[in-house]
Amino acid sequence: RPTDAAVRLTNDEASVAKARCHELGYFDDPLAAAFAPRGPAKRGGGGTHHEPLINRGYYARVRAMRAMIDAFMDASLPGDDDEDDDRDIVSLGAGFDTSYFRLLAAGRAPGLFVEVDYGEVARKKAEIVRARRERFFGDREDEMTNALVNLADGSYHGDGGGGDDDDASFRDVFGYRLLSADLRDVATLERKLLDLPGYDAEIPTLFLAECCLAYVEPEEAAAVIALAARLSSSAPAAAFVLYDPIGPDDAFGVQMGLNLRARGCPLRGVAGAPTLEAQRERFQARGWARAGAMDMNDACDRLARRDASDHLRMTRLEMLDEVEEFRMMLAHYCVAWGVNE
């Protein structure tokens, strides 16, 4: 479908923006640049007076998602014990996000980190990672030669070459999977996940969906959320964290929708959960016992309270003229989550 290509382009845009934020010091994402297409034309907003607005938006988005991921990795969860506190992360519409490599570099990669995206995106990501193995895996690059084995369906799996699951290096390096799947086909997605070597439905699992469910139809997004609840129903704990636009109906939201539509990636799914309340209700209606949601103003204020010095440092990087517009923009994005324990 022609618009699928436009949706995939939003991934290039995210990489460019995240690389730019790294360059300017908003947050560390040293590997984002490896994925960012080059050239001024690709820099959405680059060099304009809107850029600080965009960069601060990414600061809030990335910091908030990282806080959620780190909370999941650090939490002592039911089912953990001293021997085995392993867990899985499944990143839906992962694009060129570098979270896995951030955790790997910090020595805290989960046992399995699965990234789901279209075959085109998975292939491109695998190519880039392979071509710069030493940047992604440091002194582990040799182990990595086998770790992205191309499967017939366009997915990439680790091949531990006889390593077993109790071996930390197997878990660290070979637990990385790029899964080629369309989120709109949950039956196939479910089969592919269950067939993944190393996939363990019985351990705590975090599902992530950063800027992707809004691009599919409401019922398709809801089906993905329900699938995640079903897949993790025998795990002692599971969570689903998403980041998406909300508030499509006011003047700002309408303009945001028109801009994206003009670029060929209409926000098809926003109507399925247009408010914070609807975001929470969707999780609860689709198999998640507890749910929460906050808009990015709220998230930003919490981040500022939690790490005041980083927030102050960030605000000094670039002048922000349009404070009102910034608050307005942040009010139109949210993080939302469902938790089962």
- Residues forming contacts to ligand SAH in the complex (CB under 6 A) are 7-8, 10-11, 14, 93-95, 97, 117-118, 121, 182-184, 210-212, 215-216
Give the residue with the Cβ less far from ligand SAH, 64 or 183. 183
Q: How far is the CB of 92 from ligand SAH (least distance, A)?
A: 7
DSSP strand E in the chain: where?
88-92, 112-117, 149-150, 156-157, 176-180, 205-210, 238-245, 290-295, 333-340
Residue 164 is labelled as binding a ligand: no
Packed helices 323-330 and 51-74: angle between N→C axes, nearest 10 degrees: 40
Q: How far is the CB of 131 from ligand SAH (least distance, A)?
A: 19
Q: How far is the CB of 139 from ligand SAH (least distance, A)?
A: 27
DSSP code for 163: -
- State the Cα–Cα distance between residues 12 and 18, nearest whole angstrom: 10
Residue 182 is labelled as binding a ligand: yes
Give the residue with the Cβ less far from ligand SAH, 120 or 195. 120
Give the type of residue at 129. V
Please give the torsion angle defined by the CA atoms of residues 220, 11, 231 and 218, in that order, rounded to the nearest 10 degrees. -20
Residue 210 is labelled as binding a ligand: yes
DSSP code for 335: E
Q: How far is the CB of 117 from ligand SAH (least distance, A)?
A: 4
User: What is the token pair recorded at 214?
Assistant: 């809004």
Residues 6+ apart with CB under 8 A from 78: 236, 237, 341
Give the residue with the Cβ less far from ligand SAH, 16 or 160. 16
DSSP characters over 71-137: HHHHS--TT--SS----EEEEET-TT--HHHHHHHTT---SEEEEEE-HHHHHHHHHHHHHTHHHHH
Give the residue with the Cβ less far from ligand SAH, 143 or 220. 220
Give the residue with the Cβ less far from ligand SAH, 36 or 238. 36
Residue 253 is labelled as binding a ligand: no
Residue 301 is labelled as binding a ligand: no
Give the type of residue at 325. E
- State the Cα–Cα distance between residues 222 and 240, nearest whole angstrom: 12
Give the residue with the Cβ less far from ligand SAH, 79 or 119. 119
Q: How far is the CB of 81 from ligand SAH (least distance, A)?
A: 32
Q: How far is the CB of 171 from ligand SAH (least distance, A)?
A: 23
Output the known binding site for S-adenosyl-L-methionine: 61, 93, 182-183, 210
Output the known binding site: 61, 93, 182-183, 210
